[in-house]
Structure 1
Amino acid sequence: MSKRETLKRLLSYLLNDKAGFAVAAIFLLFAVVADVSGPWLIRIFLDDYVAQDYYPPNVLWGLALAYIAVTVLSGLLHYAYGIRFSRIAIEIVQTIRKRVYASIINQPLSAFDYVPAGKLVSRVTNDTESLKELYVQVVASFLQATALIIAMLTAMYLLSPTLTVVVAILIPSVVLVMYYYQRRSSPAYRDSRDLLTDINSVMSESIQGMSLIQLMGQEQRFSERFADLTEQHFNTEVRIVKINGIYLRPLIDLMSGVALISLAALFGWHGNELIGVGVLYAFISYLGRVTEPLIELMQRLSLLQQAIMAGERLFELMDAKQHVYGDDDRAIESGTIDIEGLNFSYDSKTQVLTDVNVSVKEGGFLALVGHTGSGKSTLASLLMGFYPVQKGALKLGGRELSTLTQNALRSGIAMVQQDPHVLSDTFRANVSLGRDISDEAIWQALEQVDLADYVKQLPSGLDTAIGTGDITLSAGQKQLLALARVLVDKPRILILDEATANIDSGTEERVQQALAALRNTMTIVVIAHRLSTIADADNILVLHRGHVEEQGNHQQLLANKGRYWQMYELQQTRAHLEELEQIACGETETHEGIA
């Protein structure tokens, strides 16, 4: 999208509130008339009364009161215009911010695979604030300046067409300066905005990964990286200051001075026989009121450049491809899963899954095992509809996943992730997540995951806030809470992505019992690292580098003595060594106590 198209699209938002814009325009029109009236009244006073040595009291008092009235009225009308336009600008910024956010959360997960979170946050916050400056500072000033210039030139022409020609020469000269300023400043402002985004991104990532940075002793490296970006941003800002210092006020002041000298020279040549003193005063006053808006416009061009850059980035997000769902809104009534010839790649180069075939009956228990990078989580993400199926077939309840609406898919299949996100809110809000769920259903879900007793002992129960004050959850409790979230909605298919990895053996046993009871009502898919947790699975899919190397139940795979058997033996050996180590430690402590 070109700069002109971006600016045109940004300005189109002004028409969202046509009535408000019309009211602002009326305020501006009357304010400009009041601005023009002041110097005109002074011209009458000088030429018609002072030059004639004629001072009628009533007329002079009338002119004085009229001058005071139009001055006060001008200030009030400009204030009303500014308030009205600021309101319009804030509403536009809110609209754009909402649309950008809605676009972000509706994009497919693939859009976030290579985009740092800090850059997205910067766009939603900083870039939308830049747009507010566009409407409040640039557009409002441009309309005001344009109206003033037209009104002042009209008043000048009515006073003296000859002097108006001298002043009018100033306008195209300023336009030419503005053109060259835009050409020089645009790249600098783009670099400044990009560097500021990078700075925010580094800051966000550093705060999020502070424990890792300190653990690995990388404070110096990150500090140097941040300092380098800050230095680049400083140099870019200095370049902008130099450009502004040349093209903004100095050149406009120079041209204004030339126009003023020309007026004085013309007045001195012809004398006051052709041009009265009052007319000259009015022209000088009008000239000042013409040049000031032009200088203000030049100064606002920097904000215009920033706003256009921000608009390009925001529209890029708003126009980004949205996640595409089907139009079949019928609820998933069966928990069957059928996968045939499934292939998938994140970047269209490296295959992550190749020719995966598996079927799961209603109420079945499917386990996915394999080493890191084997494709387990990718297969779970495809089942959730986070990524589109590229090749092959994936059916839920006998229907192609791609044909299901978002509502049908999200109500029919749910996932508990390995590292679930917990809101800084109450237990009730964390379980319901905005859904209309009764407290009774929430307590029932918490009972199933063995969290009810813990929540009941808290002072505020379900109203206890998490992540604030003294209440924090362990990694295992977070996973139990995430499991309770999906159990209240009773999906037809439940996926557990290493959801029991951080739970102690006692709690894990209770969760296993709860899942065994749920198998009568839903299909369970478990991504497991500890093979002991999936011994009861109907079918175990052993993945290796995206291929299905083996599948069958626990006993069948052990009898085959393939990769699953090797993984199981390694875990059994490790568990046995840990048990021996614990016994040895216990004996050592006993001997030390006797001694």
Structure 2
Amino acid sequence: MKASSENQLYKRLLGYLKPFLPLYAICSLVNGMALFLVFSSVGVLLREVVGSVSGTDGTGKVWQMVLYLVGIMAFSVISGFALLGFTYIEQKVQANIRSGMMNAYIRGREEAVEKLSHVEVLNRISSDIPACARLTGYYMNGYVFAPILSGSFSLIFLLFVDVRVTLLTFLCAALNLFVVQIASKKQQKKNKELVAGKSGLVKFMQECVQGSTEIRTYFLWKPFEEKQERQLEEIGRKQLQIGKYRAFRRAVVVIVTDCVTIVSLLLLGGFLAGKGIIAFSDVMLALPLSDQIGQMLVAFGNYHTILRIHAPHMERVFEVLDLQQEEASEDGEAVNCAGGELCLRDVSFSYPEQAVLEHVTVRIPYGKKVAFVGGSGSGKSTILKLLLGFYKPQEGKVCLGDTPITAFSKAQWRKNFSYMPQDFSFFQMSIRENIGMETKPDTEKIEKLVKSLGAESFILGTGNGYEQTLGQTKESFSGGQLQRIALARGLYRNAPFLLMDEPVSALDTENGEIVKRAIEQYGTDHTVVVVTHRLELTENFDWIYVVEHGRIAEQGTHRELLEKNGRYAGMWKSQMER
């Protein structure tokens, strides 16, 4: 990645730091000043000791040395308090980024959100956000800003001692900076590979957890275990390589900054002291300050090194934050669309590399029950998402009567819909709240709905009934029971339009009939649109569309389609013979 890209990412990240800049500036100044005072106090102490021993310089008073020691401890404490401020800032920045990522993902356009799995997003929230937040807290300050401040103060102070000593320190630090940058570029590449490897491992582990039954059934634990071991070994190799580069950097700092600089200063100081130009005790003052000057120059290199290492984390965070958003708005008065006809007019929709629907035209009169049937991947579920406004067609229009749905805000439009997706979700709330999906659900209405769907007995059997937290007991329910709770949620809203994707896929025949009657009852004064493979659900529907390869292959009533003896009739006969 180019340095300009890294800087742009970091500049965006600093936007989250902006509200805390005054506190950050104060903490940075305190931390940098404390570092300088600690090292300058050490330098003064060394000068006094050497001067006192040699008898050529210094006051030699014990009480002054003690005072310097007290000063060192005091400034160390001050630096520690600055750490509390950085910790507070880092936590706030982390919380704000986390909130932004969640909002961006929840409000993202459907086709953009679908590119990232739930696990991948959670992995980025748990791993990449903390890595990014470090760049706004003590980590960045400790490696970059504090050394620069302390080094600047030390440089000014050291210039008053001797210019030649200052120049020598600069040369040693510059050599260190050059060598360190070579290792940092290699570390950046390996760090990016490591981040990708860890993300892949999390996805694989999720697959293992979700597919544990299949793994046990087909005795796959051995190959899966070997695959996991290979991934862990690869991650371990990359971590070891990164560790080597870090060790190399530290070795360079120790050898060049500590050894070479100290030896060089002692030799130069001894030469100048022998010539009577400076006192040798002043060289003792320069030693700890030269370390800070060296660290200052290294800090400029650390800045780019740290950005290179953290660039993959910033990229992954901003990829979620930059998800294309819906044009959602809560503005506008509520619009009751009851009585309107839903239409798709010559609609085509495709993903970047796959056409889904081609020139589809359908009419869904109000108060009718309409079904879309067909094979998997034919585009049925996409039609529901187009009706909800989750997708925008590349061609054609989705309308209510003659009015394109783009004339409504998202909030105005979707308040007229209830939607039961095939992969429904429940939240860490009571069963009552999961059905009502509002602040104060109508308990009487919920109980009536649940009873009509034959779900009352197993809900009351949980112990706490409707107040049982669903997230804690979800595993104790069967797929069919959960499906009926999800259907109760869809019916509760009493919206003009009810859209359902495979509402009876997990139900047995008996419970399927109960749900079928509930849907037919709801459809007497509402519009019901269903996507299903189970054709017994559509037998009494007003109109059926057969979708094949993104087009409407057949349409008509159940009786009419059977008489045509086409695709629908073949599907019906196949299911009835089972």
Give 1:366's match in structure 2, choosing from 364, 367, 370.
Answer: 370
Say if 2:41 is the partner of 1:25. Answer: no
**TM-score, normalization: structure 2?**
0.89
The aligned counterpart of 1:317 is 320
- Structure 1 residue 494, shift from structure 2 partner: 0.5
1:377–1:497 Cα contact (<8 Å) kept: yes
- Structure 1 residue 498, shift from structure 2 partner: 1.8
What is the rounded CA distance, in whole Å, between the counterparts of 2:168 and 2:474 in structure 1? 75
SS of 1:363 mapped into structure 2: coil
2:105–2:113 Cα contact (<8 Å) kept: no
Measured against aligned partners, the alpha-carbon deviations of 1:464-517 in whole angstroms (never above 9, x if no partner) come to: 133536972111111111111122221111112221232233333333333233
- Structure 1 residue 201, shift from structure 2 partner: 1.9
- Structure 1 residue 407, shift from structure 2 partner: 1.4
Give 1:13's match in structure 2, choosing from 13, 16, 41.
Answer: 16
- Structure 1 residue 457, shift from structure 2 partner: 4.5
What is the rounded CA distance, in whole Å, between the counterparts of 2:139 and 2:57 in structure 1? 46
- Structure 1 residue 126, shift from structure 2 partner: 0.8
Distance 1:146 1:112, change over 3 A: same
The aligned counterpart of 1:260 is 262
1:37–1:70 Cα contact (<8 Å) kept: no
Once the two structures are overlaid, the 10-residue window that deviates more, 48-57 or 314-323, is 48-57
- Structure 1 residue 449, shift from structure 2 partner: 2.5
The aligned counterpart of 1:548 is 552
The aligned counterpart of 1:133 is 134
Distance 1:217 1:410, change over 3 A: farther
- Structure 1 residue 361, shift from structure 2 partner: 1.7
Once the two structures are overlaid, the 10-residue window that deviates more, 154-163 or 265-274, is 265-274
The correspondence of residues 289-368 of structure 1 with structure 2, limited to 5 A, is 289-291=292-294, 304-324=307-327, 330-334=334-338, 335-349=340-354, 351-368=355-372
What is the rounded CA distance, in whole Å, between the counterparts of 1:30 and 1:245 in structure 2? 29
The aligned counterpart of 2:191 is 189
SS of 1:339 mapped into structure 2: strand
Give 1:525's match in structure 2, choosing from 506, 512, 529.
Answer: 529
The aligned counterpart of 2:540 is 536
What is the rounded CA distance, in whole Å, between the counterparts of 1:112 and 1:468 in structure 2? 27
What is the rounded CA distance, in whole Å, between the counterparts of 2:25 and 2:299 in structure 1? 24
Give 1:155's match in structure 2, choosing from 150, 154, 157.
Answer: 157
Distance 1:457 1:548, change over 3 A: same
Once the two structures are overlaid, the 10-residue window that deviates more, 295-304 or 124-133, is 295-304
Count of residues in correspondence between the two structures: 571
- Structure 1 residue 115, shift from structure 2 partner: 3.9
1:36–1:155 Cα contact (<8 Å) kept: no
The correspondence of residues 373-392 of structure 1 with structure 2, limited to 5 A, is 373-392=377-396
2:555–2:561 Cα contact (<8 Å) kept: yes
What is the rounded CA distance, in whole Å, between the counterparts of 1:71 and 1:507 in structure 2? 78
SS of 1:356 mapped into structure 2: strand
What is the rounded CA distance, in whole Å, between the counterparts of 1:55 and 1:358 in structure 2? 97
SS of 2:16 mapped into structure 1: helix
Distance 1:536 1:142, change over 3 A: same
Measured against aligned partners, the alpha-carbon deviations of 1:233-272 in whole angstroms (never above 9, x if no partner) come to: 2332233233333333235523432222222222332335
1:325–1:403 Cα contact (<8 Å) kept: no
1:427–1:465 Cα contact (<8 Å) kept: yes
Once the two structures are overlaid, the 10-residue window that deviates more, 519-528 or 212-221, is 212-221
The aligned counterpart of 1:96 is 97
The aligned counterpart of 1:440 is 444
Distance 1:267 1:21, change over 3 A: closer
- Structure 1 residue 54, shift from structure 2 partner: 10
Say if 2:216 is the partner of 1:211. Answer: no
The aligned counterpart of 1:591 is none
Distance 1:328 1:225, change over 3 A: farther
The aligned counterpart of 1:83 is 84
- Structure 1 residue 183, shift from structure 2 partner: 2.6
What is the rounded CA distance, in whole Å, between the counterparts of 1:81 and 1:12 in structure 2? 21
- Structure 1 residue 463, shift from structure 2 partner: 1.5
SS of 2:529 mapped into structure 1: strand
SS of 1:169 mapped into structure 2: helix
- Structure 1 residue 48, shift from structure 2 partner: 6.9
Once the two structures are overlaid, the 10-residue window that deviates more, 360-369 or 243-252, is 243-252
The aligned counterpart of 1:584 is none
What is the rounded CA distance, in whole Å, between the counterparts of 1:470 and 1:477 in structure 2? 10
Larger Rg: 1
1:145–1:297 Cα contact (<8 Å) kept: no
2:430–2:469 Cα contact (<8 Å) kept: yes
Structure 1, unaligned runs of 5 or more: 575-595
Say if 2:504 is the partner of 1:500. Answer: yes
Measured against aligned partners, the alpha-carbon deviations of 1:310-335 in whole angstroms (never above 9, x if no partner) come to: 11221122122223458876424225
SS of 2:454 mapped into structure 1: coil
Distance 1:30 1:565, change over 3 A: closer
Measured against aligned partners, the alpha-carbon deviations of 1:384-442 in whole angstroms (never above 9, x if no partner) come to: 22321122222136532333322123321222233422335421232233544233333
**Which one-letter code corresponds to 1:569 in the other structure?**
K
2:332–2:409 Cα contact (<8 Å) kept: yes
The aligned counterpart of 2:569 is 565
What is the rounded CA distance, in whole Å, between the counterparts of 2:533 and 2:471 in structure 1? 29
- Structure 1 residue 148, shift from structure 2 partner: 1.6
2:173–2:257 Cα contact (<8 Å) kept: no
**Which one-letter code corresponds to 1:5 in the other structure?**
Q
1:354–1:546 Cα contact (<8 Å) kept: yes
Distance 1:301 1:208, change over 3 A: farther
2:447–2:456 Cα contact (<8 Å) kept: yes
The aligned counterpart of 2:236 is 234
Measured against aligned partners, the alpha-carbon deviations of 1:570-593 in whole angstroms (never above 9, x if no partner) come to: 33333xxxxxxxxxxxxxxxxxxx
Say if 2:476 is the partner of 1:472. Answer: yes
What is the rounded CA distance, in whole Å, between the counterparts of 1:333 and 1:324 in structure 2? 20
SS of 1:550 mapped into structure 2: strand
Measured against aligned partners, the alpha-carbon deviations of 1:94-117 in whole angstroms (never above 9, x if no partner) come to: 212221222122222323545444
What is the rounded CA distance, in whole Å, between the counterparts of 1:302 and 1:501 in structure 2? 54
What is the rounded CA distance, in whole Å, between the counterparts of 2:550 and 2:160 in structure 1? 83
Distance 1:483 1:100, change over 3 A: same
